[in-house]
A and B are shown apart, each in its own frame.
Chain A
Amino acid sequence: MACYGMVKALLAQGIKIDLVLPTKEPVYFPMREVSDVDTLPAVFLDPLLQREYTRHSFLTVQDRLEYIGISSEPQSYFSLKELRRYANKVRDQYWMQEIVSTEEQELWDQMTMNLIGEEDLMRKVQEYTLRADRFARTLEYDLIHAHDWLTYPSGMLAKQISKKPLVVHIHATEFDRAGGPGDERVHKIEHAGMTYADKVIAVSKYTAQMIMSRYRIDTGKIRIIHNAFSLPTDTKMTKERIFKGPTVLFLGRITLQKGPDYYLEVAEKVLKVHPEARFIIAGTGDMSRHLLRKSAAMRLKNRFLFTGFLNRKQVECILRAADIYVLPSVSEPFGISPLEAMAFGITSIISKQSGVAEVVNHAFKIDYWDVDLWAETINHLIENPDNCQKMGIEAMHEVNRIQWDEAAEKIRHLYSGVLAEYIRRPQF
């Protein structure tokens, strides 16, 4: 979502972009006009493949993307099919036949997933990096902009080959994702990428702090450019309730970083005072099952509900039904989804440990661990629906001002600075 908004706004600034994504086929997406972000024109590096590709006709953009081999789900870098095939192969082993409990089975699945998943991810990064060589030589460009660690090795390679400046963009560090130290290899790659880059963009002060204190990156290289949010123009935003009682929403991956277990605790506290409230958790993730079972163990009845994975349209439906939005992230470099909730006029409560807290005023900001305060705040909002609604409307007005154009303007400015420096640098 961040990528879509940013590219679109940069195009509006007159910047031309060749998007190189982790696709199965060696293609890139030349972005020249604003409308290109929706049509996604693609070019194959190999002229033969390109000819074959142009001969194909596709019914939907989705079909075309599938042909190119890019997954519509950005979170998964490895293919589920591959994983399943491997898992089945393992399951056929005689020693796996004896495993009968679902709990045990899950441990095995987790193990196999990590066994091949991790390696697969690293291998994909390797492949992507090797391929960057060709892109770096073939495409014409003035500047390289790499987003998050998966692309840092290719960014470095491109810089080395082309002698063009490199900007790296930190959307999240391994510390945020892991909710702990995380994978050391990733840290090393992150560190190398940031050090090798000419400029480092952090999506928030929170992230900039992290880059300085944990990665020891030269402060002079870091620029903070906050993310923004623009609703697609065709979005239907009128309120359409699902529940008659107050509805609290958690929207995001159900994973440690996002603090879903704190949400559960808050729900329990609120439901003791307001049993008429409903708590929705929208999304999936590695903690889904844990949370589902824990909510049952806590006897939250039919007051704590899971939607499972939601597509774009369904996300809009659930936003239209919510009164209060919460983001109790343990560590959130930015966090665009509260902006979306605010755009729908929903009162939001966000973790102080998030970048988004730096850019909005009309939202409650609470330490993720302060569950009592979360509960009190929600109770207050339930008991004062007028206040809640007023806050929501103010939030909507505020978020409408946080547009990508402003962020794109800053990025363009940064680009010119970097390029100016490059022109001035001594030639060897």
Chain B
Amino acid sequence: MLNIIFYFQVHQPYRLDHFNVLDIGKNRDIFDDRLNGLVMRKVAEKCYLPTNKLLLELINKCEGRFKIAYSITGTAIEQFKLYSPETLDSFKRLVDTGCVELLGETYYHSLSFLYDTNEFLDQVAMHRDLMQKEFGYYTTSFRNTELIYQDRLSDLIYEVEGFNTIVTEGVDRILQWRTPLYAYKNYSKDITLLLKYYQLADDIAFRFSNRDWPEYPLTVPKFVSWIDHLTLAEKGDKNLFLNLFMDYETFGEHQWAESGIFDFMREFPQEVLKKPHLGFATPKDAAELSNYQQEALSFPEAVSWADEERDLSAWLENDMQRNAIETLYELFAKVKQKGDPELLRIARMLSTSDHFYYMCAKYFQDGDVHKYFSPYDSPDQAYTYFITALAELEERIID
């Protein structure tokens, strides 16, 4: 049996305003509320609302056999409330079906795991409380920001009560000859690992509307036949997991409605469910379903799902990114000492990984992706606003 695990990342950052040195000390807002509202309403209209509606229909039609998982960041939830409350309601209706799993993560979609363990655990706890409060949901599977994972992450998450599964990227240099279709264990065999099958996931997320791709157009029968083909790898009756993890904004935002992405999704579950050996699951089902000894995998170096390198270089490659993030985490200590909740909140909003992603100045194709997502003209500009905002924050801390 092969279980398809759909997991969608739902996230919106608080984008910075064009913050200048002359704005410091004027009590001016650091974040661009107008732009953030604009983006949220646009994405809600193009992606969240139509996709939620479609998936709710599919879940209802498939009578419990179609399942999906989401990770929804705290900053996204907050901005739903501010700019698109109907989106939050539609997510609640989805969770109410019982066919939707919510994953745990850092509230602010931050890189705190790499810089400040206490802050990381705080943000994880905050997110769990938020899921509990908004959806009445207790999270048991974890995904770190942008699927960043390393052995040490499993140690930390194992210590947090209730988590037993982590999802991350199926990186070739870790898997080597292995397939990401099995459920694995972390290096100490305490936690189940699910690895993204990036070839097929990226066919939907990145290549779906690319006319230069030899497989264009991607039809449902073609995609299902590829999936069907994967089951040949396992002759026994072991349960396999095909992990299709992607940005939720793939639907209608990265891949426009005109590309046929919604029609693809509309047909996909029924086509899958026609095959007796194919089905859907969510991350929390994996530990139970895996009817075999799960092999332990060690990740000595951090991996992620970003860019071709699938490492941390999207956020921490150049000096601007490093100077910015090191300065931020130094400020965290001072903010916490000061004990002003509003300042702590601003520091946390600044910890969102997107800010560092915008400062990426990498070569080749990935640069295009960074550019597509960035509200700024250049990495230098993103850095300038950010570092100036950090000066503002610091000035507010100093009495």
* Chain A residues in the interface with B (C-beta under 8 A): 100-103, 241-245, 278, 280, 282, 288-289, 292-293, 295-297, 299-303, 305-308, 310, 314, 317-318
Known: A292-B384, A301-B326, A302-B394. 16 other contacts (CB 8 A): A100-B368, A101-B363, A101-B364, A102-B361, A241-B25, A243-B391, A245-B398, A278-B391, A293-B380, A296-B318, A302-B387, A305-B391, A308-B20, A308-B384, A314-B22, A318-B21
Residues on the B chain within 8 Å of A306, using CB? 21, 384, 388
Out of B327, B363, B398, which one reaches A100, CB within 8 Å? B363
Q: Which A residues lie within 8 Å of B365 (CB)? A: 100
B323 lies within 8 A of chain A by Cβ: yes
Chain B residues, Cβ within 8 Å of A307: 20-22
- When distances are taken between beta carbons in the complex, the residues of chain A under 8 Å from B21 are 242, 280, 282, 305-307, 318
User: Bound state CA distance, A335 and B292, in angstroms?
Assistant: 78
Contact with A along B366-397 (1 / 0, CB 8 A): 01100000000011100110011011001100
Assuming the contacts A101-B364, A297-B319, A301-B323, asked whether A244 and B395 have C-beta atoms less than 8 A apart, the reply is yes
Alpha-carbon separation in the docked complex, A85 to B72 (Å): 44
* 9 nearest A-B residue pairs (beta carbon): A297-B319, A296-B323, A296-B319, A302-B390, A101-B363, A302-B391, A301-B327, A296-B320, A307-B21
Q: Does B322 reach chain A (CB closer than 8 Å)?
A: yes
Q: Report yes or no: A242 in contact with B322, Cβ–Cβ below 8 A.
A: no
Whole-angstrom distance between the Cβ of B307 and the nearest chain A Cβ: 13
In contact, A102 and B378 (Cβ under 8 angstroms): yes
Convert B186-201 into 0s and 1s, putting 1 for each residue whose CB lies closer than 8 angstroms to a CB of A: 0000000000000000
Which of B20, B22, B367, B391 is within 8 Å of A102, CB to CB?
B367
Asked if B24 is an interface residue, CB under 8 A from chain A, the answer is yes
A296 to B325 alpha-carbon distance, docked (Å): 11
Interface presence of B32 (CB below 8 A)? no
Complex interface: chain A residues within 8 A of B380 (CB):
288-289, 292-293
Check A292/B327 contact, CB under 8 A, given A242-B22, A280-B21, A305-B391. no
Closest to B25 in A: A242
- Whether, in the assembled complex, B330 has its beta carbon less than 8 Å from a beta carbon of chain A, the answer is yes
Closest to B386 in A: A302
Task: Please name 17 pairs of A and B residues whose Cβ atoms are closer than 8 Å in the assembled complex, sorted by A.
Answer: A100-B364, A100-B368, A102-B379, A241-B25, A242-B24, A242-B395, A244-B398, A293-B318, A293-B380, A300-B323, A301-B327, A301-B387, A302-B388, A305-B387, A305-B388, A306-B384, A308-B384
Which residues of B approach A to under 8 Å, CB–CB?
20-22, 24-25, 318-320, 322-324, 326-327, 330, 361-365, 367-368, 378-380, 383-384, 387-388, 390-391, 394-395, 398
What are the residues of chain A within 8 A of B394 when measuring CB–CB?
302
**Which residues on the B side are within 8 Å of A299 (C-beta)?**
319, 322-323, 326
CB distance from B335 to the nearest CB of A (A): 13
**Contact between A296 and B383, CB atoms less than 8 A apart:** yes
In the assembled complex, the CB of A84 is this many whole angstroms from the nearest CB of chain B, namely: 13
Chain A min CB distance to B237 (Å): 48
**A317 vs B26: C-alpha distance in the bound complex, in angstroms?**
12
Task: Give the CA-CA distance A295 to B324 in the complex, in Å.
Answer: 11
Taking CB atoms, residues of chain A closer than 8 Å to B384 are: 292, 306, 308
B253 CB to closest chain A CB (Å) equals: 23
Find the A residue at minimum CB distance from B389.
A302
In the complex, what distance in Å separates the CA atom of A226 from the CA atom of B108?
Answer: 58
> A273 vs B85: C-alpha distance in the bound complex, in angstroms?
51
Which A residues lie within 8 Å of B20 (CB)? 307-308
Check B320–A101 contact: CB distance below 8 A: no
Q: In whole angstroms, what is the CA distance A318 to B21 when docked?
A: 9
> Given the complex, which residues of B lie within 8 Å of A280, measured CB to CB?
21
User: Given A242-B21, A244-B395, A318-B21 in contact, is the A101-B367 Cβ separation under 8 Å?
Assistant: yes
A318 touches B22 (CB 8 A): yes
Bound-state Cα–Cα, A100 to B390, Å: 30
B347 → chain A, closest Cβ, in Å?
A: 13
Query: A242–B388 Cα gap in the complex (Å)?
Result: 12
- B22 touching A317, Cβ below 8 Å: yes
Q: Contact at A243–B25, with CB atoms within 8 Å?
A: yes
Given A102-B361, A301-B330, A302-B390, also A243-B22 (CB < 8 A): no
Q: Of A243, A293, A297, A302, which one neighbours B327 at CB under 8 angstroms? A: A302
CB distance from B212 to the nearest CB of A (A): 13
Most central of B21, B367, B394 by chain A CB within 10 Å: B21
Are B326 and A292 touching (Cβ within 8 A)?
Answer: no
In the complex, chain B residues whose CB is within 8 Å of the CB of A102? 361, 367, 378-379
Residue in A closest to B371 when the chains form the complex, CB atoms? A102
Chain A residues near B362 (CB-CB < 8 A): 101
- B-side contacts of A310, CB under 8 Å: 22
Contacts of A301 in B (CB 8 A): 323, 326-327, 330, 387, 390
Complex formed: what's the CA distance from A302 to B392 in Å?
9
Q: How far is the CA of A278 from the CA of B387 in the complex (A)?
A: 12
Note all chain B residues with C-beta closer than 8 A to A243: 24-25, 391, 395
Q: Identify which of B22, B364, B367 gathers the most chain A CB atoms within 10 Å of its CB.
A: B22
Contacts of B363 in A (CB 8 A): 100-101
